[in-house]
Chains A and B, each alone.
Chain A
Amino acid sequence: MTTLANAQLDADGFLTNAEDWTPELAEEFAREAEIELTDRHWEVIDFCRRDFAEKGTAPTVRRITKVGGIPTKEMYQLFPGGPGILAARISGLPKPKGCI
């Protein structure tokens, strides 16, 4: 099983292959960012993974708020270290490409 110790990460610390992701790995990524995953986090993660499967790119914060329905303010409460990178990293996706 993929763990943070043996996972293939890119230079920015994102999982190289989204297929390698497991919920356990999400917990590990979260712990590293000092985040304890709640149900609300899992809603974000589920949306990100679903959206990635459809679109092939990791959703930006704006997309998570507009399409995923999680308010901006809450995104920053859920991912205080920066929702733009953490939501994607914890979801096992590459770094989002958009600027917004």
Chain B
Amino acid sequence: MSTVLEQAPAATSEAPREKKTTRKIAIILSKGSLDMAYPGLILANAARMMGIDAVLFFTFWGMDIINKKKADKLHAGMLGNPSSPMPHALMGLPGMEGFATRMMKRKMDEMDIPPVSEMLEMLEDAGAELYACQMAMEMFDLDQSDLVPQVQEVITAMDFYDKSEGAQIIFI
């Protein structure tokens, strides 16, 4: 039995100088703590700095990163984190999380790491694509007006696969 598969047309000399295919990454940001937000934002920015296309998809707690009111008020989550420098019994006390957050922010400031809102501006200027998850929008009763202006579109999970076609995917 012979099956003729549909063949792609043979490459012609139409494109004399073939462009190198651009690498692409898609980062899913599903957490809203300071220590989960920055890795995604920094990796996306680094990709753009190297000429790699970057798509960011914010969902669930990651919505806080693109929430106008919360973006610059993310907290460092130390409870339930075995790497926490402080004993858990202490971390649960009132004010401790704020203390840990302030410490981390001060250190980041010293290192000239921009605040979240500025990182988002940089990403937009760098040509990264930012999308918000439609389901998370509904879950958290959010409106597009609640989001930072850098978010281009509210999309579904299936839309995400269209936007991230050919990309390497990173889930945070």
A interface, CB within 8 angstroms of B = 61-62, 71-73, 76, 80-86, 99-100
Which residues of the partner chain B approach A81 to less than 8 Å between Cβ atoms?
A: 51
29 A–B contact pairs at CB < 8 A?
Answer: A61-B49, A62-B114, A71-B125, A72-B121, A72-B126, A73-B126, A76-B48, A76-B126, A76-B127, A80-B51, A82-B48, A82-B49, A82-B50, A82-B52, A83-B49, A84-B46, A84-B48, A84-B50, A85-B49, A85-B51, A86-B51, A99-B42, A99-B46, A100-B42, A100-B45, A100-B46, A100-B112, A100-B113, A100-B114
- B122: interface (CB < 8 Å): yes
Which residues of the partner chain B approach A82 to less than 8 Å between Cβ atoms?
A: 48-52
Q: A82-B50, A100-B114 given; name 4 further pairs at CB < 8 Å.
A: A76-B48, A76-B127, A82-B49, A85-B51
Kindly supply a per-residue 1/0 record for chain B positions 105-140, scoring 1 wherever the CB is within 8 Å of any chain A CB and 0 otherwise: 000000011100000011001110000000000000
Which residues of the partner chain B approach A71 to less than 8 Å between Cβ atoms?
A: 125
Bin chain B's interface residue count: 10 to 19
User: In the bound complex, how far is the Cα of B46 from the Cα of A84, in angstroms?
Assistant: 8
Q: How far is the CB of A80 from chain B (nearest CB, A)?
A: 7
User: In the bound complex, how far is the Cα of B122 from the Cα of A100, in angstroms?
Assistant: 10
Kindly supply a per-residue 1/0 record for chain B positions 31-61, scoring 1 wherever the CB is within 8 Å of any chain A CB and 0 otherwise: 0000000000010011011111000000000
Q: How far is the CB of A58 from chain B (nearest CB, A)?
A: 12
Q: How far is the CB of A26 from chain B (nearest CB, A)?
A: 18
Kindly supply a per-residue 1/0 record for chain B positions 88-115, scoring 1 wherever the CB is within 8 Å of any chain A CB and 0 otherwise: 0000000000000000000000001110
Q: How far is the CB of B106 from chain A (nearest CB, A)?
A: 17
- Among B112, B113, B125, the residue within 8 A (CB) of A72 is B125
B interface, CB within 8 angstroms of A = 42, 45-46, 48-52, 112-114, 121-122, 125-127
Q: How far is the CB of A42 from chain B (nearest CB, A)?
A: 21
User: In the bound complex, how far is the Cα of B50 from the Cα of A71, in angstroms?
Assistant: 17
Q: How far is the CB of B64 from chain A (nearest CB, A)?
A: 21
Which residues of the partner chain B approach A62 to less than 8 Å between Cβ atoms?
A: 112, 114, 122
User: In the bound complex, how far is the Cα of B142 from the Cα of A86, in angstroms?
Assistant: 40
Q: Given the known inter-chain contacts A99-B42, A100-B114, please indicate yes or no for A73 contacting B50, CB distance below 8 A.
A: no
User: In the bound complex, how far is the Cα of B45 from the Cα of A72, in angstroms?
Assistant: 11
Whose C-beta in chain A lies nearest to the C-beta of B123? Answer: A72
Which residues of the partner chain A approach B126 to less than 8 Å between Cβ atoms?
A: 72-73, 76
Q: How far is the CB of B8 from chain A (nearest CB, A)?
A: 27
User: In the bound complex, how far is the Cα of B127 from the Cα of A55, in angstroms?
Assistant: 29
Q: How far is the CB of A13 from chain B (nearest CB, A)?
A: 12
User: In the bound complex, how far is the Cα of B125 from the Cα of A83, in angstroms?
Assistant: 12
